[in-house]
């Protein structure tokens, strides 16, 4: 505590403690200045105050919304501005709604996308597979998941992960499907690159390897003989560790193996 220049004047320090039930405890601690601030916690006075609105001590703190009181405008904002592409299909399998994120992604209007218009942006190589999954799942009322390429507004095809779920109307009857999509291009491209590397390694090792029957060296494409480990390491990402198999241990180190089995130390 710092010095107080006002002599022995009585002092009071209020402390505020918020509670989870919306109430505040105000603790008034009385004290006396004796050259330095001297507070006596035994003389603390506690006043319980109930607040109608919580006090926000942090300017970044916000009161969470009550989901039961969201207005239609707030619901619309959540659907339109959520960081995912959302679509809806009616019982005839025709799409009748796309959110703003979808339309911004494709650069097309709602009228252009309705029905099967959205399929105009699907990559030709993915279209038949998409329709097969879509129509079969629709007929069975099953949840479906699929990945396909959809043309973005700049003409670039991006990989999307699409998940559709059936939903019912107010009276419980089947009303169609609601789906959401996220961009997974980076993941798909990384998987494709990894697969290509693995296939390249297998191709480099595929075929007959000329191996010396005595020293086990391998002859490379230039006619040079290399150790087997060195050849494989140079044509793949494999690394090697060395040990002794049981047969070789028995053949080359019989004294060590026999003492190892009975627990006695081998002779030098």
- Pick left, alpha or beta for residue 200 (phi over 0 → left; psi -120 to 50 → alpha; otherwise beta): alpha
* pLDDT at position 248 over 70: yes
Mean pLDDT, rounded, for 240-250: 76
Band the pLDDT of 246: cuts 50, 70, 90. confident
pLDDT, tens digit (0-9, with 9 covering 90-100), for 60-82: 444 555 556 778 888 788 888 88
Q: How far out from the chain centre does Cα 202 lie?
A: 31
Q: Reply yes or no on whether the pLDDT at 85 is more than 60.
A: yes
Q: What is the pLDDT of residues 14-49, one digit of tens each?
A: 555 555 555 555 555 555 544 444 445 455 454 444
C-alpha to C-alpha distance for 11 and 9, rounded to whole angstroms:
6
* Closest alpha carbon to 159 in 183, 191, 130, 193: 183
**How far, in Å, are 23, 47, 49, 67, 143 from residue 52 at the CA level?**
8, 16, 10, 20, 46
**Confidence tier at 207 by pLDDT (50, 70, 90):** low
Quick one: what percent of the chain has pLDDT higher than 70? 63
What kind and span of H or E run contains 201? Answer: helix 185-205
Residue 122 scores a pLDDT above 70 = yes
Question: Could you tell me the pLDDT band of residue 51, with boundaries at 50, 70 and 90?
Answer: very low
Instruction: Report pLDDT for 28.
Output: 53
> Phi-psi region for residue 7, left (φ > 0), alpha (ψ -120 to 50) or beta?
left
| Rounded distance between C-alpha atoms, residue 14 and residue 16, angstroms | 7
CA distance 157 to 108: 15
CATH fold for the domain made of 72-188:
Beta-Lactamase (3.30.450)
Which DSSP category does 36 fall into?
B
Q: Stretch 209-233: mean pLDDT, rounded?
A: 74
Burial of 160: CB neighbours in 10 Å, binned 0-12, 13-18, 19+: buried
The per-residue pLDDT of the chain, averaged, comes to: 76
Write down the domain spans for the chain: 10-50, 72-188
């Amino acid at each position: 505590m710092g010095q107080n220049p006002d002599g022995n004047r009585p002092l009071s320090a209020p402390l505020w403690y918020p509670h989870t039930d919306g109430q505040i405890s105000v603790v008034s601690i009385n004290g006396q200045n004796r050259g330095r601030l001297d507070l006596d916690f035994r003389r603390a006075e506690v006043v319980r105050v109930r607040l109608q609105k919580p006090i926000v001590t942090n300017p970044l703190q916000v009161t969470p919304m009550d989901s039961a009181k969201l207005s239609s405008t707030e619901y619309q904002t959540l659907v339109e501005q959520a960081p995912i592409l959302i679509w809806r299909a009616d019982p005839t399998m025709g799409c009748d709604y796309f959110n703003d994120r979808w339309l911004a992604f494709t650069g097309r209007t709602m009228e252009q996308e309705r029905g099967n218009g959205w399929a105009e942006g699907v990559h030709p190589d993915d279209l038949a597979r998409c329709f097969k999954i879509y129509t079969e799942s629709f007929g069975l009322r099953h949840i479906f998941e699929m990945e396909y390429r959809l043309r973005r507004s700049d003409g670039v095809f991006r990989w999307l992960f699409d998940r559709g779920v059936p939903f019912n109307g107010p009276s419980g009857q089947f009303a169609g499907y609601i789906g959401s999509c996220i961009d997974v291009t980076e993941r798909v491209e990384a998987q494709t690159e990894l697969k290509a590397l693995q296939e390249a390694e297998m191709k480099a090792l595929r075929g007959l390897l000329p191996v010396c029957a005595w020293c086990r060296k391998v002859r490379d494409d230039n006619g040079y003989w290399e150790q087997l480990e060195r050849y494989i390491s140079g044509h793949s990402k494999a690394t090697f560790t060395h040990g002794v198999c049981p047969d070789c241990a028995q053949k080359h180190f019989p004294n060590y193996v026999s003492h190892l089995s009975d627990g006695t130390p081998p002779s030098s």
